[in-house]
Copies of this chain bind each other. A is one copy, B any other.
Amino acid sequence: MSRASARSPIGVFDSGVGGLTVVRALMERLPFEDIIYFGDTARVPYGIKSVDTIHSFTTQITDYLLARDVKLLIIACNTMAAVAGDAVRERSGVPVLDVIDAGARAAVAMSGKGIGVIGTPTTINSNAYARHIHQLDPSVHVYSQACPLFVPLVEEGWLDHPVTRLTAQEYLKPVFVESIDTLVLGCTHYPLLKHLLRDVAGPNIRLVDSAITVAEQTAGVLTEMGMHNPQRGEPNYEYLVTDIPLRFQSIGSRFLGRELRQLSMVSLG
């Protein structure tokens, strides 16, 4: 049983740094909630690993955060949500939200005819978005496209660079052939490319940023459960990583939109 109370923190996890875009959205939407972020930076990226490996890494992180008595868990990594979302829900006594479910719901609510989904190869090949969208609305047309270079481009900081623009045009070319009106950014790195993608996609396609939609969902669940933090002071943010690689502080700050403090290293397994 969970010993979590309304004063407990929200747990957010990702394979690396990308989930910090979700933390950022949570800070803006729920400014009084404490947050523990877990990034498995020693083993990132998950997107190129096998299903078994992703499964085992994900349950290790889940158990770690449950032991810290989080009141709600957010899987802020599309790869982990796609591959191991059910396993996380099975072992957690607290609500579990994830970026795929949040993105799929928002897209279905917004779209009139067709939804495009972009993400890492593993997320796209898992077909998790299309499956999820079709559960919500079997009639909607879904077109998915893997964009493996977007993550390294974001980490390089080329957020508005001719190379990134050319890459986006190349990846999105087949998406635009399909008649879609909504494009889901199916990777937590992609919100940093939102400006450029909006430009490349043009005015007739609406973008779904799952960092923002999962923060919105979280607010709803906390209200339903009566679990908003009653304290109105400065919230506590804690960042746990399994490795502190080169440039992590500066890349992390770019994702978070503010300075990354209280960073600690932990080891798993």
With a CB–CB cut-off of 8 A, which chain B residues contact A170?
163
Cα of A155 to Cα of B151 in the assembled complex, Å = 13
- The complex is assembled from copies of this chain, and their number is 2
Question: What 16 new A-B contacts, CB under 8 Å, besides A50-B245, A148-B155?
Answer: A41-B49, A42-B53, A44-B48, A48-B246, A50-B243, A53-B243, A121-B246, A125-B246, A149-B152, A149-B163, A151-B152, A162-B166, A163-B166, A163-B167, A163-B170, A166-B166
Cα of A166 to Cα of B148 in the assembled complex, Å = 18
Chain A interface size, under 10 / 10 to 19 / 20 to 34 / 35 or more: 20 to 34
Taking a contact as CB atoms under 8 Å apart, the answer to whether B156 and A49 are in contact is no
**Which residues of A does B touch, CB under 8 Å?**
41-44, 48-50, 53, 121-122, 125, 148-149, 151-153, 155-156, 158, 162-163, 166-167, 170, 243-247
Please judge, given known A-B contacts A48-B245, A243-B53, A245-B50, whether A156 and B163 are in contact too, CB under 8 Å.
no
Chain B nearest Cβ from A9, distance in angstroms: 26
With a CB–CB cut-off of 8 A, which chain B residues contact A155?
148
Taking a contact as CB atoms under 8 Å apart, the answer to whether B148 and A156 are in contact is yes
Cα of A125 to Cα of B245 in the assembled complex, Å = 12
With a CB–CB cut-off of 8 A, which chain B residues contact A163?
149, 163, 166-167, 170
Cα of A245 to Cα of B43 in the assembled complex, Å = 14
Cα of A244 to Cα of B51 in the assembled complex, Å = 10
Taking a contact as CB atoms under 8 Å apart, the answer to whether B244 and A50 are in contact is yes
Chain B nearest Cβ from A151, distance in angstroms: 8
With a CB–CB cut-off of 8 A, which chain B residues contact A156?
148-149
Taking a contact as CB atoms under 8 Å apart, the answer to whether B166 and A122 are in contact is no
Cα of A20 to Cα of B122 in the assembled complex, Å = 23
With a CB–CB cut-off of 8 A, which chain B residues contact A151?
152
